[in-house]
């Protein structure tokens, strides 16, 4: 679901560039709220939706849902979020950007940066552990065994 939300967000962002009025309307569209809930299910990064000014008397300003979504995806490990969508794993710990032909540039954490062959470069799914491989039906498994292509 996280991968689908990221892919759909890329397509919605393309629509935003058609004209300035469309961009302004789509920034606050309700599409972004479920996408934020998929990537940040426990609202760990909810504080990043507010901009606090230096002046203490100025009230904080809420960013648009689009900008909040982009902030979450920019600073989170997308591989961790795709593989553990209901946990807090990967939120806010992106260290390096990697390129995906379908999604563009996204962040990965230090663990996934050190071992890029442990996940698929196209769908960001991690390979199954040895214990999980013996417990599941091999006909139902779909995923990456090992990524030998260093470009993806």
* Residue 24: φ, ψ to 5°: -65, -35
Name the nearest CA neighbour of 6 among 95, 112, 81.
81
Tokens of 82: 């795709």
- For the entire predicted model, the pTM comes to 0.73
pLDDT value of residue 131: 56
The Cβ-side half-sphere exposure at 90, using a 13 Å CA radius, reads 27
Residue with tokens 């946990």: 87
Name the H helices within the chain. 2-16, 20-27, 32-39, 65-74, 78-83, 110-114, 130-135
Q: What average pLDDT does this structure show over 53-74?
A: 83
Name the nearest CA neighbour of 112 among 128, 125, 130, 129.
125
Q: 4-38 pLDDT, tens per residue?
A: 888 888 888 888 888 889 888 888 888 889 998 88
Q: 78-106 pLDDT, tens per residue?
A: 888 888 888 888 888 888 888 888 878 88
If residue 108 lies in a helix (H) or strand (E), which one and from where to where? Answer: strand 104-108
Q: What average pLDDT does this structure show over 104-119?
A: 82
Coil, strand or helix: which one is 96?
Answer: strand
Tokens of 29: 């569209």
């Amino acid at each position: 679901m996280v991968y689908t939300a990221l892919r759909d967000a890329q397509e919605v962002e393309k629509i935003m560039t058609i004209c300035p009025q469309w961009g302004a309307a789509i920034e606050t569209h309700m599409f972004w709220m479920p996408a934020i809930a998929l990537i940040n299910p426990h609202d760990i990064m909810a504080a990043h939706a507010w901009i606090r000014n230096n002046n203490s008397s100025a009230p904080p300003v809420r960013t648009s849902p689009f900008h909040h979504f982009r902030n979450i995806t920019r600073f989170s490990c997308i591989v961790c979020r795709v593989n553990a969508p209901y946990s807090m794993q990967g939120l806010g710990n992106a260290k390096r950007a990697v390129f995906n032909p379908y999604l563009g540039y996204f962040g990965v954490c230090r663990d996934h940066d050190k071992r890029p062959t442990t996940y698929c470069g196209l769908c960001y799914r991690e390979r199954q552990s040895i214990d999980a491989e013996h417990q599941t039906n091999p006909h139902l498994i779909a995923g990456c065994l090992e990524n030998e292509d260093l470009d993806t």
